[in-house]
């Protein structure tokens, strides 16, 4: 992830990344299904990671889905969120993503990656101690590199 657009004081608040190859012990839980969440989960699964989706309406046969609201701590507990998991918050709403990320941080010591659609929200997400990824910037950067 490119941290150049983040304030220097937010760079040191991120949890360290696990080293070594992916294993079943390193579970990634995608909070929010839809096209984006399911695509992220499939990519992680194809890379060898154990992955689950938490969503109220996601229904994919390839990836285990915990049907429920990702803002419900009991659902997150049922999904297996713990200190050894990575939460990837991927709903369509930046505000909801930040709310879910804060909930995860309050109840679990997980690494939290938060997708943002609006580049202006990256700083707020980073200031809250999460790892932001701006979907809009990532897509526009990719387009610029292939033209």
Query: Which of these, 139, 77, 144, lies nearest to 108 by C-alpha position?
Result: 77
> In the structure, what pLDDT confidence band is assigned to residue 120 with cuts at 50, 70 and 90?
very high
DSSP H or E run through 111:
strand 111-116
Are β-strands 27-31 and 86-89 bridged in parallel, bridged antiparallel, or unpaired? Answer: parallel
Domains of the chain: 24-146 (3.40.50.720)
Confidence at 134, pLDDT banded by 50, 70, 90: very high
pLDDT of residue 21: 45
Q: What pLDDT, in 10s, does the model give residues 26-80?
A: 789 999 988 999 999 999 999 999 999 999 988 788 899 999 999 999 999 999 9
| CA proximity to 133, closest of 103, 92, 90 | 90
Q: How much is the pTM?
A: 0.80
Looking at per-residue confidence, does 147 or 115 come out higher?
115
């Amino acid at each position: 992830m490119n941290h150049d657009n983040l304030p220097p004081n937010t760079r040191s608040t991120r949890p360290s990344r696990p080293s070594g190859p992916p294993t079943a012990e390193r579970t990634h839980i995608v909070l929010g299904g839809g096209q984006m969440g399911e695509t992220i989960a499939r990519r992680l699964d194809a890379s060898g990671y154990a992955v689950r989706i938490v969503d109220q309406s996601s229904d994919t046969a390839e990836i285990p889905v915990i049907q429920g609201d990702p803002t419900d701590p009991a659902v997150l507990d049922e999904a297996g969120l713990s200190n050894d998991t990575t939460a990837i918050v991927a709903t369509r709403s930046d505000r909801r993503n930040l709310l879910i990320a804060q909930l995860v941080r309050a109840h679990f010591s997980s690494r939290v990656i938060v997708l943002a659609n609006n580049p202006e929200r990256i700083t707020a997400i980073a200031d809250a101690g999460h790892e932001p990824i701006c979907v809009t910037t990532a897509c526009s950067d990719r387009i610029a590199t292939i033209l």
